[in-house]
Every structure is written in structure tokens, then in C-alpha cells.
A and B are shown apart, each in its own frame.
Chain A
Amino acid sequence: MKTVFQKPEALTDVTMHYCPGCTHGVIHRLVAEAIDSLGIREQTIGVASVGCSVFAYDYFNCDMQQAAHGRAPAVATGIKRVLPDKMVFTYQGDGDLASIGMAEIVHAAARGENISVIFVNNAIYGMTSGQMAPTTLIGQKTATSPRGRSVSETGYPIKMCELLATLEGPSYLARVSSHDPRHINQAGRAIKKAFEMQQQGKGFAMVEVLSTCSVNWGMTPVDSMTWLAENMIPYYPLGVYKDITAEEGK
């Protein structure tokens, strides 16, 4: 019989705790599939961050370290510098990466640290029940922007791919989305590419995955997918922001 669907080896059997409709689970799967397809599970050390994905250390079937809030790129640097032949990735939320951990991600990128970063942008602090994130859209209502995010008080949402693309260090920066099957397939290819860049020693690679948080957005999972497509993608355009292999090919 032909197997058409199975759990990737790089995921454990542990039942994920994510809310119904949350795209964290899908993104975990994409990461695991990338690891499996490159055959690197036994060579990989993952770094979980603080956020809804904190339990990623239970879900990925490879060696894992759990990092303090925002510090995953520093922890990954510590691992990669002493084990340069291993594959090291971080899995971080937008509060983790773009707020408290801004210094760590910028400097890891600037150093061209040879790691792969999976950045899950759901425009909110999911785990702490829906506060405003640095990526929260203008006008978006959250627990701490109850009248909608206002520019005069809190400025503008941060576009991480664009920001990091100003640096020389990164080898690959891409923004993808998780709201429908076509985009999920694209996201999977980008994530695999981020691991390949590391495997080839090209240096820092990050994939920003636009993601949903229906519970804290106060919507059904289906409405969340639509909201993402209609509101997040216009502000956070999808695409490849840097790819040194494409430049090399020119």
C-alpha cells in the first residue's frame, strides 16, 4: 500500500497543546519535514523560545534546548560555535524575536551566524493572553491596545525581514504565510532552504511565517485565515528579501 500521509520522524508522538486552528502546529510539521527530507534529525539541535511554542522541546524529536525569552539566537550561537558541524535552529514568536530579543536576532544576523531561524509572526503575544506585540497592526485591538493600536502612542509595527535585509550577514531571508495549502507548501520550501543554507555554511537564514492566533484575535479559525490574508499580507508582503545563492547565480 502506498503511504500518502505520515508523521514526520522529526516530530514526537506527544499531543500538541495548541488551540484548535492554531498554525503553530502546521509550522512545526513543516520544520520537521524539512529536517526529515535533509536526513539531519540526529545532527540537529533545536532551540525553543518563550511563547506558545515553548513546549517545542517536547514536540521535536531531536536534541533541544529551551531558551530564556528572546535569547534563542544567543543560545543557538553558543551551541553552533562549539559544534559547528551540527545543525542548529531556533523557533521564535514575534514578541520573543522582535521585542525582547531584538538585540539577539539583529546581532546573530549581523554576524552571519550559521543558524536557521523560524520566526512565527502572529501579530500578538499569544501565550500571555493577547497583548500588543511589536508586530501588531495599526488599529488592531489587543488586550493592551483595547482601542486599537495607535501610531501616536506606540509607533509602527516592525518588519523584521526588511530590517534584517539591510545587513550584510544574512544569507537568506523570506516571508511566507500559513493561511492556506498553497502558501503552506511555499512556506515548507522556504524552511527547507533555510536549513540548506546552514548545511552549505552560507550563514544566517530566517523564515518569517505569518501565523494566526484565533483565540487572542477573537475570531474563528476560518475567519483568522481570512483576516491574515486581508490584513497581514498587505503590511507584511510575502517574498524573498535576501538570497545570496540567487545573487551568486546571476
Chain B
Amino acid sequence: MAKTLMKGNEALAEAAIRAGCKAFFGYPITPQNEIPAYMSYHLPLRGGVYLQAESEVSAINMVYGAAGTGTRVMTSSSSPGISLKQEGISYIAAGELPCVIVNVVRCGPGLGGIHPGQGDYFQAVKGGGHGDYRLIVLAPGSVQEMADLTTLAFDLADKWRNPVMILSDGILGQMMEPVEFASNQDISEVEKPWATTGAVGRKPNVINTLDIIPESLEKRNYELIAKYEEIKGEEIRWQEVGTEDAELILVAYGTSARVARSAMELARKEGLKVGIFRPISLFPFPETQLGALASPERQFLVVEMSAGQMLEDVRLAVEGRCPIHFTNRLGGMVPTPEEVLVKIKGILEGRGN
């Protein structure tokens, strides 16, 4: 199939429709506006429904309702809007409703700015809303991955009956790259006997997250935790380049990983043994895979557009077995490969950080 030049946000939207997404509920916020715009045009022409909600709170609860009928459904927003959705996301996770939630991350806190950021990492991977739950979190690194991981997100959501978040950012959403799409997915096989579609000739189905009996809610909590453990066993995704002989391994996801990759190439040209480890699934985090690379003769450099959020998961994976350095930019500033190269040289020449 031919490649098309497209913005990341539009590629994501097109991939969602091809993955069988039949409903989209959203609310305007920069830098994700291309997603609802694309959906509002294309979805009704291709058998789906688009609705602009009165707020992100309403949008996520519309997702809850539609997901409860077994329909493939998506919402997208950006950081402040995702904060508003958190109560609903907690309900969706508790109700084990499959859906896809896109966060085209901007910088914060507060109203912050409309430029790209990675400061929502904790919110995405550690729960975000109230109670013990997890999302599956996928972090694309290119326009092609904005499409591919969206296709995957719908499948994982159904497979695990769990909300899946695409953690993108303002750059990935706005930039144009050639992209190739999977053909339309046939999802008629996906069975959802739990869905509330009208109790014709069967007992009523109930989508509910309330359980006031501690013994029974605890059991429910353990069931969810067991599911998350299974997800950790099966759904870890990452990419490694040049790690075999590397003395320094850059760890980064999303836009930071693109910068880190360029920095690595610059370093390699100068004969420095530098590799990159890019987590693609942020939950589950590729902890074992990253940990396996930790050895006393190696060092890590984490590159983020946050104050050091994924850094904490890298530390947990490495468990003190080698030094971990950190470089970042904040406020919507994006690190340059040259800046990262200076940092790399400093570390390898023993000037530390």
C-alpha cells in the first residue's frame, strides 16, 4: 500500500477508524485538535458517530457508556483535559471497559503551555485517578507509530478489557511524515458477552464499579492486580539500537527518543560507543529488559521533557547496578541532539554530569 504524508494526529485518527472505532467523544484543546476534526469529518461517513461533548468530564463518561455496549470507542485530549478525565478513567478501569484514550501531552503544570511535554508520565503509568488500577500505556515515536500503536491499542483494549492510553506529545501530533495504514480491520469476531445491549433472552448485564462489601471488593482488587501482572508478562514492547557494545545507553521515549537517537548517531560518528533503549510500552515498563543491560562497565543517560519521571522507573529497573545520569528540558523546550551530545561526552570523558 502506498505511503501518505500526514500529520501524526491525523494518522492516529485514520488508524482508529480502520481499527473499527465506531464512536469518538472529545472536547477542543491544543495540540490535539486535528484528531476530533478528522473524526468529525470521516467517522459519520464511515458508519460511526462523532460528538463534541460539553467538557472532558462528559466526554470520558460518554466513552464509558459507549464502551459498556461493547463498541470500539476513543477519546483524545491534552494534559489539562486528561486531568479532568481522571475520575472517569478510574471508573472505566474498574468496570474493565475497553477503550482508547489519547493524550497529546503539552507542558504544565496548570494551564502550562501548548508546546510539547512529557510531564504526564506519572499520571499515565501510575494510575492517575483514584484507586488501584493501571492503564496500558503506549508511547509512539513517529507518525507511523501513531498509526500502528493505535491499531494495537484497540486490540489490547479488547484483549484485556482495559483502557489503553496513547501517550503522545505536541511534536508527534503536529509533525508530518509518510505513513502506511493497515487495511480495515474485521472485528466481527470479537465477542463481548458482558456488554449492555439490551437483555434479549438472557439475564441483564450490569456495568458497575460499586462494591460496598470489603471482602468482595478486596477479591475484585486482587483480580485486577492479577490481570495487570499478566499484562506485564505479555505486553512489554521496546526498541534497542546499538546497545550491544555500548558504554553509554540513552533511555528515552516519544519525542525525546527521536532527539536521543540523533544524538547517538552524532556520537557514533565520533567513535563513541553509545546505544539507545526506547520503551514503547510505558506500562508495562520494560523493566527486566532494561535491567538486563545494566552492568558495572556501563552507564545510562535518561533524556526526558519532564523533571525526571521515567527516570524513577529506570532507577527501579537498574537497581543501582550502574550509574544513571539525567538530562531534560522543560516548559515546552525540546532538547537538541547537540545538547545531548555534550552531555554524552561529559559522561564518557568522566566529567560526570
Contacts and interface: CB of A to CB of B under 8 A. Distances in A.
B205 A63 contact: yes
Given A81-B51, A82-B73, A107-B54, A63 B62 contact: no
Looking at chain B, what size class is its interface with the partner chain?
35 or more
A45 interface: yes
B65 A66 contact: no
Given A42-B199, A75-B64, A86-B198, A68 B55 contact: no
A83 B67 CA distance: 11
B198 A78 contact: no
Contact of B58 (A43, A47, A104): A104
A185 to B, nearest CB: 28
B63 A78 contact: yes
A106 B200 CA distance: 32
B77 to A, nearest CB: 15
A86 B61 contact: no
B198 A45 contact: yes
Contact of A68 (B23, B25, B87): B87
A71 B198 contact: no
A102 to B, nearest CB: 10
A42 B200 contact: yes
Given A64-B204, A71-B58, A82 B196 contact: no
A82 B197 CA distance: 10
Contacts of B209: 66
A140 interface: no
B91 interface: yes
A54 interface: yes
A44 B54 contact: no
Interface string A223-237: 000000000000000
Contacts, number: 128
A78 B62 contact: yes
A68 B197 CA distance: 20
A196 to B, nearest CB: 18
Contact of B88 (A63, A71, A80, A86): A71
A68 B92 CA distance: 10
Nearest to A78: B65
A74 B68 contact: no
A30 interface: no
Interface in B309-327: none
A241 interface: no
Contact of B197 (A75, A76, A86): A86
B54 A103 contact: yes
Contacts of A76: 65
Interface in B31-69: 49, 51, 53-55, 57-59, 61-69
A42 B196 CA distance: 11
A104 B208 contact: no
A65 B68 contact: yes
B207 A66 contact: yes
B206 A66 contact: yes
A77 B65 contact: yes
Contacts of B69: 45, 78-79, 82-83
A193 interface: no
B206 A64 contact: yes
A80 B66 CA distance: 8
Nearest to A84: B49
Contacts of B54: 103-104, 106-107
B57 A78 contact: no
Interface string A26-68: 0000000000000001111101100000110110111111111
A44 B91 CA distance: 22
B111 interface: no
Given A47-B65, A63-B197, A103-B55, 16 more contacts: A41-B199, A42-B198, A65-B64, A65-B68, A71-B57, A71-B64, A71-B88, A75-B62, A77-B51, A78-B67, A81-B23, A82-B22, A82-B23, A82-B71, A83-B197, A103-B58
Closest 4 CB pairs of A and B: A78-B65, A78-B62, A74-B61, A75-B65
26 contacts: A41-B199, A42-B199, A42-B201, A45-B69, A45-B196, A45-B197, A57-B208, A61-B204, A62-B198, A62-B204, A63-B197, A63-B205, A64-B204, A68-B64, A68-B87, A68-B88, A71-B61, A74-B62, A77-B62, A78-B25, A78-B64, A78-B67, A83-B69, A86-B198, A103-B57, A104-B58
